[in-house]
Structure 1
Amino acid sequence: MSFNILAIAQAGRLEHEAILLAASLRHSDPGFPGTLFIAEPQPGPKWQDDPRISDRTRKRLTALGATILPFETRAFGSDYPHGNKIEALAELPDAPFLFLDTDTLVTGPLSEIPFDFTRPSASMRRENTWPKVELYGPTATETWKALYDRFDLDFESSLDPSHPDDYWQRFLYFNAGWFFHQSPRAFGNRFLAWAKEIRANPPEELVCQELYPWLDQITLPLVIHSFGGGRPGPDLAPLDGSATCHYRTLPLLYARESDRAVALLEGLADQLRPDLRQWGQFKRMVIQGEGTKARALFDRANLPRREQMIRNTLKREGLWVR
């Protein structure tokens, strides 16, 4: 089945990541039949600075087969750039889509994954980041149920009964690094409307909860559940597996990701060096070889349980670059 891919680029780090994403897709899935859309927010009152990518990046992305998709930012902007992924959906052709965070490498053929676009899903590569339960409540169950009730959704059917009551993995909670559906228009309209509603009128159970930067990940499971989707099954294992690597930052890529991902990054480095040499992460980790030092600090078969512990080690060794 043909489908489109959506990612976001704007001036700075994301435009460099977009080049890596586009180059890795071309390398790992040269027969991909859909279109890679790189959505670019346009200047406006929601942005403090011009968010558009450079002409050099635009030319490189186009040469790599990507289509630049300008979109207007009306709800979010500088104060919540995570909202780009929500607002850009409205500009996609109304055909099946896969959203990928820009800090993703395509390491295998996406076109061979048997998606069921009628049943949306998203990445389970997440940690217990939201909600933060206060000593005197409300509980995590009460917090999530309040959101399902707000949008007239069945809460009980979203739960994973293999986990105990109030344990965070019992709830439908995703990393928004990838998600998909058959209609970006229908999915995007609901995603935007519900995110705005939660931001403007959160249930009282959320009074002590931080909405930023978690708003997209708070809203996403509600939208997926509303369209009859849920947790990804084994058919989607290549995502966050053999077909994609959501690396977050290049120091984290070297610290914890597979040999395959590192080999792909370094294999693309020579052809991309003129376009990425101004990117601090790429310069230090790849060109100056500090990624090798970062990789030597960790045993990939026995990594720390929490990402923050990896970050702390990298910072202590002077190998953390944003």
Structure 2
Amino acid sequence: MPLASQNTKGPCFWCIKVMKWVPVLFIMTIVAWSYYAYVIQLCFLTVDSLMVKILYLIFYHISLAMFLWAYWQTVFTDIGRVPQKYRIPDVCHEQLLRAESAEEQHNILEEYSKNLPNVNVNINGAVRYCDKCRCIKPDRAHHCSVCGECVLKMDHHCPWVNNCVSFTNYKFFVLFLGYALLYCIYVALTALPYFIAFWNGKLSGVGRFHILFLFFVAVMFAISLISLFFYHCYLVSENRTTLEAFRAPIFRTGEDKHGFSLSRYNNFCEVFGDDPKKWFLPIQSSLGNGIEFPLNLHQQRTYRSMECTQNGLETNS
């Protein structure tokens, strides 16, 4: 079996694997050039005042450090994987293959998943099952075709970080967007006076072209980041993922886009944690385990009434 797995990983597999890092290398190349343009060409060779140089460099390095820290965490944090108890055993998988109807498959999956804490179902009201991973999907988990496996609370697969944005790194991703936006705005604003001086013909030397492009690149990235950052701030406040924004999660009672929404503050704490000191640091502080999620009051009452009804039927029988 190991030999067969190795044989499938030919040159094309490794070529694709390497190509996936191109967007990350592109971003790091832009950051490296911007560091040279800002620190050397702008601060050291263009800014005259020593005090201004020091202030520019201090706040620049703080914003750059936070941006790179959040980016590193987003890229290299391992995606949340489905626990073993959700995996279908070989016997159950054989039963699914031998099942003669969709209803029979549904009954097999219902029987196997009855002790799992799932509340979401698929569009047909059946257990959410991934035939590629051979597992019951936990709530809010989805199969990523790029990663090739089911991912806990999957938001989307981002090529710019070569990773799935999911339960384990969603906080880091939002901070990465926020600090990247802050970095671009800071660079653009501090480079603006020298950009204006360039257009007025008051700036000379080869470095002026670095400052010109530095300003344009910072503004361009800031414009592209601002909508994405505030969109994810909205998703955090609603306790939704990007996938759930396109298709609301389905419960036994039907679709409910507010099914996991608790309150603005509690939704924020689910992602950033309940310790304010850790909110804006790229360190793990999200609440929960990526498997079970608290429901809003409506869904809680619904499931309590369903459990009472089921218990009553079992007692009568």
Question: TM bucket by the smaller chain?
Answer: under 0.3
TM-score (norm 1): 0.23
Bigger Rg, which one: 2
> Which structure's residues are more often strand, by fraction?
1
> Which structure's residues are more often helix, by fraction?
2
TM-score (norm 2): 0.24
